[in-house]
Amino acid sequence: MGEPGVSNLERRYRVLLKVLPRWYRQDREEEMVGIFLAERDDDLDLEHSWPGWGETGAILGLSVRTHLAAGAVLTGVPAKVVWRGEVVRALGMLGLLLGLFYATAAIVSVVVGFGRPYQAPEPWWRVLELGPVVAFAALLNGRRTLAKVAAAAPVLVSMITLGQPGSVLTWSVFQLPSLVTFVCLCLGFHREAPTPPARRLLWWGGGAALLGVVGGFATGVGLLSVGLITVIVRVVAFVRGDFVLGRALSLFAVLQLVPLLFLVVAGGGVLVPAGGLALLLVLAAVAPVRQRVRA
């Protein structure tokens, strides 16, 4: 039995509102319940109705926007909530840069292989590997929906290739960065989130593409460079006290580590560069983050 005097419908709405953060509910729950139940005084309705799908969807959307809040948009947001939102958005951007690296490497490897004797024709779906390039450009231009759809392209590619030999575990391990990037973009870049700073990110995008060119000729060297740059920027973030970038890079290091460790374990031996990089990435993942105290 529930609380006396409280209808089933009210109880259901209150359960739905639990998806919102506690700090938000403390301020708004009573007000919101009042709107949900305004002019609903039919006993049958109050006993047997449930929150509608549309209302549920809108509350879920609000939940994402408040859990991953953008600092300037909400007032009274606890600092850690703003950091959480910014870390998710930064991780999404880092994932896109990694995608940019892979896309450029794919283009270069196709171009390098073009015209070689006995070269099998490329399957049509490889064009989807360019998804991160489109997603990156779209996000910098404020076209969020297009960015999210384009970021799903690499996941789609891997689902097509899933029909080919290889276990689901292998697939999941190697698709982890694409999947996490897609989820981070969908959740982090909600309509209240700020547009990322285009000029600064273009430099980063250019750098990722340049590494991709290296990766197109020698995959291992390219991947090692990406890992090393992750570690270096992680150190810089620590020194500068950039908490958001530090946290995002820790998670990004984990994303790179998982497939790397899988390769090392599956390979049955530890290659010296791969093992060394794995060790550095572990340090980047677990190293403390520092917050610069503003005067």
CA 157-204-139 angle, to 5 degrees, is 55
Q: In this structure, what DSSP letter does residue 75 have? A: S
Query: What phi, psi does 64 have (nearest 5°)?
Result: -65, -45
The binding track of 26-65 with respect to another protein, each residue x by CB under 8 A or -, is --x-xxxxxxxxx---------------xx-xxxxxx--x
**Minimum separation from the CB atom of position 83 to another protein (A):** 18
The binding track of 124-163 with respect to another protein, each residue x by CB under 8 A or -, is ----------------------------------------
**Minimum separation from the CB atom of position 184 to another protein (A):** 20
Task: Name the residue nearer to another protein (CB basis): 20 or 209.
Answer: 20
Task: Name the residue nearer to another protein (CB basis): 33 or 287.
Answer: 33
Distance of CA 120 to the CA centre of its chain: 34
The binding track of 192-221 with respect to another protein, each residue x by CB under 8 A or -, is x-----------------------------
Q: Is 51 strand, coil or helix?
A: coil
Residue where the block lists tokens 């509608």: 52
Q: Give the burial string for 156-169 (b: 16+ CB within 10 Å, else e).
A: ebbeebeeeeeeee
**Minimum separation from the CB atom of position 56 to another protein (A):** 8
| Type of residue at 163 | G
Residue 94 CA to residue 180 CA, distance in Å, equals 11
**Minimum separation from the CB atom of position 73 to another protein (A):** 5
CA 241-228-86 angle, to 5 degrees, is 40
**Minimum separation from the CB atom of position 24 to another protein (A):** 9
In this chain, which stretch among 67-75, 159-167, 173-181, 213-221 interacts with another protein, using CB under 8 A? 67-75
| Cβ–Cβ < 8 Å for 18, 58 | no
Minimal CA–CA distance to 88: which of 61, 58, 64, 62? Answer: 64
Residues found in the chain: 295
Residue 28 CA to residue 59 CA, distance in Å, equals 12
**Other CB atoms within 10 A of residue 247 CB:** 20
Q: Of residues 85-114, which lie at the interface with another protein (CB under 8 A)?
A: none
Q: In this structure, what DSSP letter does residue 190 have? A: -
Q: Contacts with another protein: how many residues (CB under 8 A)?
A: 25
Task: Name the residue nearer to another protein (CB basis): 48 or 191.
Answer: 191
Task: Name the residue nearer to another protein (CB basis): 72 or 271.
Answer: 72
Task: Name the residue nearer to another protein (CB basis): 73 or 155.
Answer: 73
**Minimum separation from the CB atom of position 190 to another protein (A):** 9
The single residue among 25, 46, 67, 74 that binds another protein, judged by CB under 8 A, is: 74
The single residue among 4, 43, 75, 163 that binds another protein, judged by CB under 8 A, is: 75
| Cβ–Cβ < 8 Å for 95, 148 | no
Binding stretches for another protein (CB under 8 A): 28, 30-38, 54-55, 57-62, 65, 72-75, 191-192
